[in-house]
Structure 1
């Protein structure tokens, strides 16, 4: 029984982190689903959701207005989640035509603000982006050309993380995201993404549906688009940039918040996990999201079963490997800012951090905790 538990847990971990990505990439190469792209310029409403972003909001609005897109075809809504700093006054003071402030009272959270802005928008395409995200000049044109294909309901931009320094958090976060982008590109070519980066994505206004405020919009939007028989695709030429967080505490807090909201989304939208109804999309949800959030449970079972087997004189070398990986990750936590160690420790450190975040998220979710609002971590 111990051996069965051990190998089953190891097998699930191997599938989640290696088997599923390899399988997804293989399917994408053998049977890719093309998107019919053509240069088009539909009207676009850019929605920037902000809470206390006085340091970045003016630069963000100017970044959006500098996009290579026809004048008169783009307008901007800054949806302020009852900001208590100077965010609202800065937006009002810009005095730029086509830029308006939508203040949402009551501190309702990012998703509620996006719902309100979508209801007030006039563009055929809704472009959602964060205040701290810098968008490449040609990104919007690259995204809109995908909407020439009537099967496309949502388009994700390609986020690139820029490390603030030579530390384990920055290096680990960048490596992790490169792995994620590779997987998301494969999922897009299979048929549809199961989620997008909240930093930059676009949705047909006709396909947008209100999302419950307690749910994470950039995850649920792909589900609601899929339910309408539409695809969510990744546009690799639509680049946007964010700086990595510079401390483990901030990175962990961000990942726990995302994890809890994603688990809430999976629980409330569990119908999408039904493979008989949603096919490959359900398989992707199981593999990329649910099983990954359960990976700390598999790892703990593998570690405990391995320890018990080692006491019987079996698989001691595998226990040593597990403990070495764990020790390297813990050492990264102990010295995340040491440049000389960050290169060696970044990957095991970040692997441990993401699993710790998943474990905390799962524990707090099962306790009944929910997160609706957010506070900028930068």
Structure 2
């Protein structure tokens, strides 16, 4: 039984982090389903949700207004989630007729603000973006050409992380996201993404549905459009940029928040896990999301089973390998992570950090905690 438990846990971990990505990439190459693209310029409402973004909001709006897109076809709504700094004042002071402030009282959270802004929007396409995200000039044109295909309901931009510091947190975040982008491109080619980056994505206004405020909108939106028979695709030419967080505490807090809200979404939208109803989309949800959030459980089972087997004189070398990985990851949390010589720590450190975040998220979710509002980590 110990061997079954050990190898079962190891195989699940191998499937989550290597088997599923390889299988998704292979299937996408065998039978790609690329959207039919054509240059179009529908009206677009850009929705920027902000909470206490006084420092960045003006630059963000200028970035949006500088996009290579017909000016008469674009307007901007800044949805302020009861900001207590000068965010609202800065937006009101901008000299732009197509920019308006929508203040949401009562700190209702990002999703609630997006719902309110979507209800007030007039554009055929809703473009959601964050206050700290820098969008490349041609990104909007790249996104809208996908909506020529009537099967497309949502289009994700391609986020690239820029490390603030040359340390393990920045390097690890960048490496992890490169892995994620590779996987998401395969899922898009398979037919549909199961979630998008909240930094930049667009939805047909006719396909947008109000999302429960306690749920993470950039995850649930793919389910919303899938239920309507539409799909979510990744546009690799729609580039946007975000800085990585510069401290493990901030990175961990961000990943715990995202994890808890994603688990809430999976629980409330569990019907999408039914492969008989949602086919490949359900398989992707199980593999990319649910099993990954359960990976610290599998790792703990593998470690404990391996320890028991090692006490019997079996698989001692595998226990040594697991402990070496764990120790290398723990070193990344020390001051060594700030050293340029610590590059060998990057991957085990970030692997440990993401698994720790998943474990904390799972524990807090099962304990009944929920997160609705957010506070900028920068």
Conserved? CA contact 2:331–2:337, under 8 Å: no
Work out the CA distance in 2 between the residues paired with 1:43 and 1:143: 13
Conserved? CA contact 2:337–2:345, under 8 Å: no
Structure 1 position 336, deviation (Å): 5.3
Residue 377 of structure 2 aligns with which residue? 377
Structure 1 position 340, deviation (Å): 2.8
Conserved? CA contact 2:192–2:233, under 8 Å: yes
Query: Cα deviation per residue 1:205-245 (whole Å; 9 max; x = unaligned)?
Result: 00000000000000000001000000100000000000000
Residue 217 of structure 1 aligns with which residue? 217
Change in CA separation of 1:358 and 1:87 when aligned onto 2, cut-off 3 Å: same
Residue 294 of structure 1 aligns with which residue? 294
Structure 1 position 342, deviation (Å): 3.1
Work out the CA distance in 2 between the residues paired with 1:223 and 1:158: 19
Pair 1:255-2:249 in alignment = no
Query: Cα deviation per residue 1:235-273 (whole Å; 9 max; x = unaligned)?
Result: 000000000000000000000000000000000000000
CA RMSD, Structure 1 to Structure 2 (Å): 0.6
Query: Cα deviation per residue 1:55-109 (whole Å; 9 max; x = unaligned)?
Result: 0000000000000001100000000000000000000011311000000001000
Work out the CA distance in 2 between the residues paired with 1:87 and 1:187: 37
Structure 1 position 34, deviation (Å): 1.7
Residue 173 of structure 2 aligns with which residue? 173
Work out the CA distance in 2 between the residues paired with 1:351 and 1:248: 12
Q: Secondary structure at the match of 2:290?
A: helix
Residue 275 of structure 1 aligns with which residue? 275
Work out the CA distance in 1 between the residues paired with 2:72 and 2:279: 41
Work out the CA distance in 2 between the residues paired with 1:369 and 1:191: 34
Aligned residues: 378
Structure 1 position 369, deviation (Å): 0.1
Conserved? CA contact 1:51–1:81, under 8 Å: yes
Pair 1:82-2:86 in alignment = no
Work out the CA distance in 1 between the residues paired with 2:28 and 2:209: 29
Show the 5 A alignment for 1:93-172. 93-172=93-172
Residue 231 of structure 2 aligns with which residue? 231
Conserved? CA contact 1:275–1:281, under 8 Å: yes
Work out the CA distance in 1 between the residues paired with 2:361 and 2:91: 35
TM-score relative to the length of structure 2: 0.99
Work out the CA distance in 2 between the residues paired with 1:100 and 1:285: 37
Work out the CA distance in 1 between the residues paired with 2:261 and 2:19: 26
Q: Greater shift after overlay, 187-196 or 330-339?
A: 330-339
Work out the CA distance in 1 between the residues paired with 2:108 and 2:240: 27
Conserved? CA contact 1:82–1:106, under 8 Å: yes
Residue 353 of structure 2 aligns with which residue? 353
Work out the CA distance in 2 between the residues paired with 1:377 and 1:336: 23
Residue 324 of structure 1 aligns with which residue? 324
Residue 338 of structure 1 aligns with which residue? 338
Work out the CA distance in 2 between the residues paired with 1:257 and 1:109: 12
Work out the CA distance in 1 between the residues paired with 2:71 and 2:164: 34
Work out the CA distance in 2 between the residues paired with 1:71 and 1:238: 18
Conserved? CA contact 1:169–1:336, under 8 Å: no
Work out the CA distance in 2 between the residues paired with 1:280 and 1:289: 13
Q: Secondary structure at the match of 2:107?
A: coil
Which structure 1 residue ranges, 5 or more long, are not aligned?
none
Residue 241 of structure 1 aligns with which residue? 241
Work out the CA distance in 2 between the residues paired with 1:342 and 1:242: 23
Conserved? CA contact 1:247–1:336, under 8 Å: no
Conserved? CA contact 2:152–2:231, under 8 Å: yes
Conserved? CA contact 1:45–1:76, under 8 Å: yes
Conserved? CA contact 1:171–1:342, under 8 Å: no
Structure 1 position 337, deviation (Å): 4.0
Spell out structure 1 runs of 4+ moving beyond 4 A: none
Structure 1 position 354, deviation (Å): 0.1
TM-score relative to the length of structure 1: 0.99
Work out the CA distance in 1 between the residues paired with 2:109 and 2:83: 11
Change in CA separation of 1:103 and 1:144 when aligned onto 2, cut-off 3 Å: same
